[in-house]
Amino acid sequence: MQKRILGNSGLEVSALGLGCMGLSFGYGPVTEKQQGIQLIRAAVEAGVTFFDTAECYGPFINEELVGEALAPFRDQVVIATKFGFKDGDSKKGLDSSPARIRAVAEASLKRLKTDVIDLFYQHRVDPSVPMEEVAGTVKDLIAEGKVRHFGLSEAGVDSIRKAHAVQPVAALQSEYSLWWREPEKEILPTLEELGIGFVPFSPLGKGFLTGKIDEHTTFDTTDFRNIVPRFSEENRKANQRLVDLLGEIARQKEATPAQIALAWLLAQKPWIVPIPGTTQLHRLTENLGAADLPLSAADIHEIDTAFAAIPVQGDRYPVHLQKRVGK
């Protein structure tokens, strides 16, 4: 697996990381613990060195799973986790008070079975706490040796600049894929200017770009895609054209739609590190194959031109979740 460095931070990680959220949260039933451990360790064996979790995934059980799975490889991997919700519960609202940040750091260290958090993200910007205070608190944790690098998730340009002025931001994590390209307008230029790495989550469009979901797919009652406008039956039917197009390109390249979607992201900037998630070993292998799929400038142009002709239908978040992003 090739390595990449997140911006100017010096933080080196595998070109593709593993988003671990779906093993415990958001996409249906919790994966059986030993199966989750097996998947994470298979990723390590395949060369993945970058693993993403958060206290609110579960809550808490995802960090515990990641900590146990990676304990034998701790010195070989980079673990990212997040703070920012009341009591670690994303349904309870935001809390990035300095006391809460410190409490999360201590609890996460225990759950992750480690003495340092490699990358500590603010999960969502908290309008009630000045960004300078948030960044200052993480700066103190770095000085104390409990955290190595500071990150933000779904933050807007103003928040990124305010944070970076206090404590250099190593990475921004936000949604970015062939069917969500909003970051190209302001976020990517700002990150390039400041030397901040970019970690796209949902790089496969929450599974839609794999071609395994269509208008007839039914999701588990606990799957959050049930409330995502873009995943309404009507919008899935309308957006099928995108997946069909991706499938055509994949056939030409003797690859899968997922591999094309990930290779496209990797080709955008050398400091972009997508973190696709999966619960299936064969999907893990498929996704990681994208790191060895080079796309030429002509390929990228062809993909961009084709996708530009098909407008995506449906918002990426319901209104109450959309209010938390881009601040």
Alpha-carbon distance 92 to 20, whole Å?
Answer: 22
Beta bridge partners of 324: none
Alpha-carbon distance 35 to 246, whole Å?
Answer: 30
Residue with tokens 């790495």: 197
Could you tell me how far CA 214 lies from the centroid of its own chain? Answer: 23
Burial of 140 (0-12, 13-18, 19+ CB in 10 A): middle
Alpha-carbon distance 244 to 88, whole Å?
Answer: 39
Token reading at 150 = 């500071």
57 included as an active-site residue = yes
Alpha-carbon distance 326 to 183, whole Å?
Answer: 10
Q: Assess contact for 163 and 134: CB atoms under 8 A.
A: yes
The CA–CA distances, whole Å, from 249 to 84, 156, 245, 312 equal 40, 33, 6, 18
Alpha-carbon distance 136 to 281, whole Å?
Answer: 40
The amino acid at residue 162 is: K
Beta bridge partners of 13: 4
Q: Assess contact for 111 and 67: CB atoms under 8 A.
A: yes
Catalytic member of 27, 57, 121, 176: 57
Catalytic residue annotation: 57
